[in-house]
Amino acid sequence: SMRLENLVVGITGAASGIGQACAVAAAAEGADVALGDIDTNGLNETAAMVTKAGRRAVTCPVDVTTDDDQAKLVNLAVGELGGLHGWVGSAGIGVGFGVLEHTREAWRKVMDVNVEGLFFGAQEAARHMVENGGGSIVTIASMYGQRAVRQRAAYCTSKAAVIMLTQVMALEFADQSIRVN
């Protein structure tokens, strides 16, 4: 039987890469999906892949650095698909700068998307899950969060932060039937 039958999963960064793969995998396991990304063309492509797999998809432009977009995605999932049982924070960016060349602007952008964006999306999802019997939140880290790589100071640091953030959220939500991985 399908492991996610009749569940609803929200996914940021759903237009490409890991986010898109998560959407297709969730649909294959029986989930309906609410998809968010800044790339609306890619979003439509992912939605088509999901509907081809026989599941429902709703889409919403999501910039994770804004205060409102991820709340809109949660509300869309609940309003159009009937709930929110899973959340995948997959929106992420990487830039390549040596330590001496790194600008503050580029550093902040990586942190804003990869750490803050991920956190506040998970927070919105968790708010719904706490009130509605729990769920599962998945963050996307990287081996670069555990291993130093040249030219990737901001990216490596951001993914190390994601690993710790995931552990803190898992600890905090453990007694509220929300798994965080």
* pTM greater than the 0.95 cutoff: yes
Q: How far is CA 44 from the centre of its chain?
A: 17
The span from the CA of 159 to the CA of 99, in Å, is: 17
Chain segment 69-126, per-residue pLDDT in tens? 999 999 999 999 999 999 999 999 999 999 999 999 999 999 999 999 999 999 999 9
Catalytic residue among 119, 120, 155, 173: 155
- Confirm whether 144 is a catalytic residue: no
pLDDT confidence of residue 116:
98
